[in-house]
Amino acid sequence: MVMQLYDGWLLIFFLLSFYVALGVAVIIISPSRIGQFMYDWGQKIAGHPLGWLLLSGLILLVSFPPMIGHTTMLNLCGFTYGIKGFAVAGPASLFGSAIVFIVLRYLFSAKLRKWSSSNEKWQALEAVINAKGLPLMALIRISPLPPWVYSNALFASIEVVSVWQFMAATICSFPRYFLYTFIGSRLAALSDGKQRNKMDTQTKVVNWLLVVGGVLAGVAAGWITYVQMQRHLQGVSRESDALAAEAMDDAEEGAPLLDNFSSESLHEDV
């Protein structure tokens, strides 16, 4: 028990430290330099015949918890290939998350059964998802909470969810991925100093409005989806509804695959 708490707090400390360091780095380097770097990198990738494979591999990498950066990778697809970058972003997200689902389900299957059998909140969440089926799974997948990488872990930890249901729910989130790719394609032109200097004021304004509009649309859609997801978590029984909601809160922190397993207990199953 002590080791589980220690590992959980250690993970939280690591993630907080990473996010703080990332924010400080952005401020020091400056957003314009970062944008130019992403544009230059994207152009190098676009010029390589296997550039799409590199981007696909990066999307797969950031799909494994506790990695971050899925949205950034989709933006980079837009930086690299424009709107056509969705042809890389969509399939790579789908098959990458499916691989993560299968790997996590295989590695932690015994531990998950043991853990969920003694956890009322997770049993309630499993019961609600089993009762509501694919519509609720799609809402959870589209919702910004839990984040992409923890959503992969969440579904892998729920035994009633099959890999095919998981992939179908992931396909439902493709419009959001297309939006991220579109934002990346608009930012690409604004990030390159040469293109930006040649733009007239009207073109710059239109591009920024498209970027801001895309971000606001994504936030609004995410909030609406999150509210609908919370509503769909209800309706089985009052007790199950409350426990399922608590389990979703835990999932936003990576439970149970990250937060509730100590490194010692994981080695017992390997």
The tens digit of pLDDT for each residue in 58-106 reads 999 999 887 888 988 998 999 899 999 999 999 999 999 999 999 988 8
What integer pLDDT is reported at residue 1 of this predicted model?
A: 44
Give 64 or 112, the one with higher predicted confidence. Answer: 64
Give 120 or 180, the one with higher predicted confidence. Answer: 180
Terminal CA-CA length for the chain: 20
What integer pLDDT is reported at residue 102 of this predicted model?
A: 93
Domain total in the chain: 1
Residue 223 above 60 pLDDT? yes
Any idea which residue has 């179908």 for tokens? 168
Q: How far apart are CA 235 and CA 250, in angstroms?
A: 20
Residues 6+ apart with CB under 8 A from 79: 38, 39, 41, 42, 85, 184, 185, 187, 188, 191
Four-residue CA torsion sign, 255, 258, 264, 265? positive
pLDDT tens per residue, range 124-160: 777 788 878 888 888 888 887 788 888 888 888 888 8
Give 26 or 242, the one with higher predicted confidence. Answer: 242
Residue 108 above 60 pLDDT? yes
Q: How far apart are CA 27 and CA 158, in angstroms?
A: 40
Asked if residues 128 and 233 have their Cβ atoms less than 8 Å apart, the reply is yes
| Chain center to CA of 7 | 22
Mean pLDDT of the chain: 76
What integer pLDDT is reported at residue 35 of this predicted model?
A: 73
Asked if residues 76 and 184 have their Cβ atoms less than 8 Å apart, the reply is yes
Q: Give the torsion through C-alpha atoms of 4, 9, 11, 12, to 10 deg.
A: 140
| pTM beyond 0.75, yes or no | no
Q: Give the torsion through C-alpha atoms of 245, 109, 63, 263, to 10 deg.
A: 90
Average pLDDT rounded to a whole number, residues 219-240: 65
Q: How far apart are CA 146 and CA 104, in angstroms?
A: 17
From residue 98, alpha-carbon distances to 25, 103, 205, 238 in Å are 32, 9, 39, 33
What integer pLDDT is reported at residue 174 of this predicted model?
A: 93
Range of the domain at 114: 2-267
What integer pLDDT is reported at residue 212 of this predicted model?
A: 75
